[in-house]
Structure 1
């Protein structure tokens, strides 16, 4: 293949499909089990859908309903374009709907995305690049999500129930909850809120503040339960450090379950 053609085939564009939050987080955890960005997973799924290798069942419910956020992902241009052509022929409402349907199938284990398609070094670089451009960071990998050592010590002997009830799903209520769980991260909370509002004003979109609320809602849902938080961190450690692919994928699956339980509160 000529170099110019190869570069065109591998070209990626950062896109923002609107996908159900729990589905996206579960798919992201599966991809993380192989040190991949979720954009790589989605590119493979779209490519296989375009080639007719993967089919998706048409949804009975309205996939465009609430509970969805715009998620940034670097997705291969060729896969996106060819999948869009088939989507139009099959009458699927939008590429966002198609992305969600494909990710649902992957999360349910109905399709395999062949996540070993890229070398480990390339996978790690891609995931780092995508994380840098994402609207919301990982829950507990960054300073935004880390409970301070003093807070962890204070909560270590707490009962298995929640330390606080889940707040209302508003920035003001979430800020109070974060302050009760760990005042040390309030500065990060405020900084991210200011950035979300700046981006909303600059781009005339409500997506950044909505994504901000979803992120910190998940943060509170995990951090409110000391045992849940401890297991979440352990699973993240396994996903990040383990050399055993099966162990990483099992930990990624558990991360998805923990997040689903946290946001269902």
Structure 2
């Protein structure tokens, strides 16, 4: 059996929760509390205050990816590094390549299944 991946601090990366807003919020509160104010504000603005459930899939996609990155500081750092380098880059082709790599990592994080 493979060992669980570790964070920079040496603790195991927490698994992804069940794929629903309540479980995702609980995971964010426990493992990435710095995301919680924005998560709650987004939920309130786009779903709770409107009583419209249509945005829930897009909301979940965004915050699933945000949590998948935040729970893994190494991956999160790599994505931010790529985006920062692209922002400072003067060569459009290089900037595009950096952003494409960051987007690829974000997509892969967003595809992480519950329990992984």
Which TM-score applies when normalising by structure 1? 0.37
Residue by residue over 1:101-143, the C-alpha shift from the partner in whole angstroms, topping out at 9 and shown as x without a partner, is: xxxxxxxxxxxxxxxxxxxxxxxxxxxxxxxxxxxxxxxxxxx
Contact 2:65 2:110 in 1 (8 A): yes
**Residue aligning to 2:38:** 188
Q: How does 1:120-135 map to 2 (within 5 A)?
A: none
Residue 86 (structure 2) pairs with residue 250 (structure 1) = no
Q: Which has the larger radius of gyration?
A: 1
Residue 3 (structure 2) pairs with residue 156 (structure 1) = no
Of Structure 1 and Structure 2, which has the larger fraction of its residues in strand? 1
Question: Higher relative contact order by CA 8 Å / sep ≥ 6: 1 or 2?
Answer: 2
Contact 1:238 1:247 in 2 (8 A): no
Of Structure 1 and Structure 2, which has the larger fraction of its residues in helix? 2
**Residue aligning to 1:264:** 111
**Residue aligning to 1:168:** 18
Q: Rate the CA distance shift 1:164–1:212 in 2: closer, same or farther, 3 A.
A: same
Contact 2:82 2:101 in 1 (8 A): yes
- Shift of residue 199, structure 1, vs aligned partner: 6.1
Contact 2:32 2:67 in 1 (8 A): no
Q: What are structure 1's unaligned runs of at least 5 residues?
A: 1-154
Taking the aligned partners of 1:223 and 1:164, their CA distance within structure 2 comes to: 10
Taking the aligned partners of 2:24 and 2:18, their CA distance within structure 1 comes to: 7
Count of paired positions:
106
Q: Rate the CA distance shift 1:199–1:235 in 2: closer, same or farther, 3 A.
A: farther
**Residue aligning to 1:7:** none
SS at the partner of 2:17?
A: coil
Aligned match of 1:214 in 36, 49, 61?
A: 61
Contact 1:199 1:208 in 2 (8 A): no
**Residue aligning to 1:68:** none
Q: How does 1:1-265 map to 2 (within 5 A)?
A: 156-158=8-10, 163-198=13-48, 200-201=50-51, 205-265=52-112
Taking the aligned partners of 1:158 and 1:168, their CA distance within structure 2 comes to: 24
- What is the root-mean-square deviation of aligned Cα atoms in Å? 2.0
- Shift of residue 194, structure 1, vs aligned partner: 0.7
Q: Rate the CA distance shift 1:188–1:232 in 2: closer, same or farther, 3 A.
A: same
